[in-house]
Amino acid sequence: MAKNHLVLNLSERLNSFMRPYCVICNQNLAAVNYISNGKTRYRKICYYCNKKGKKARTQVPAWFKTGYRKRPTCDRCGFVSKLPDKQITVFYVDGNLRNNNTVNLKSICLNCRTEISHTKGSWKESPIIPDF
């Protein structure tokens, strides 16, 4: 941190006093919100975190869009999950991530997920999206 401040030139240093750092990553400077009366107003977060946040909120897995919902029990071993969003993941039986037909989708616990990844077969895991 101290090293970083040494490389900043004077105008950058002045600027960084007025311009807050992003509250999420604490690495980039906050994005400009708007300028009024010659005064620049900043957002609380940087451009990148703002973009990332928006993307994460709108990202929905393909199987969810077609109406499939995770089951609380594992379709492979019968494990009953208390936290399906954390302990169950969706697999495509034929390995085709575009085939979102309900007969092609299985709710699989993390234990079986590990076993499946070590055995040869067509099953493929749905790309992981947080909160799904």
| Of the residues 62, 79, 99, 124, which one makes contact with Zn ion according to CB under 5 A | 79
CA distance 128 to 3: 38
Please identify, using beta-carbon distances, which residue of 25 and 60 lies nearer to Zn ion.
25
- Cβ distance to Zn ion smaller for residue 62 or 75: 75
> Is residue 116 a contact point for Zn ion (CB under 5 A)?
no
Calculate the alpha carbon distances from 109 to 15, 35, 48, 66, 76 in Å.
50, 51, 33, 21, 8
**109 makes contact with Zn ion (CB under 5 A):** yes
Q: Enumerate residues 41-60 that contact Zn ion by CB under 5 A.
A: 46, 49
- Work out whether 30 is an interface residue with Zn ion (CB under 5 A): no
Scanning 15-23, 53-61, 82-90, 119-127 for contacts with Zn ion by CB under 5 A, the matching segment is 15-23
Q: For residue 20, which of 33, 9, 36, 4 has the smallest C-alpha distance?
A: 33
- Neighbouring residues of 29: CB distance < 8 A, sequence distance ≥ 6: 15, 16, 19, 20, 21, 22, 42, 46
Q: Which single residue is written with the structure tokens 């750092």?
A: 21
Q: Which residues bind Zn ion (CB under 5 A)?
A: 22, 24-25, 28, 46, 49, 74, 76-77, 79, 109, 112
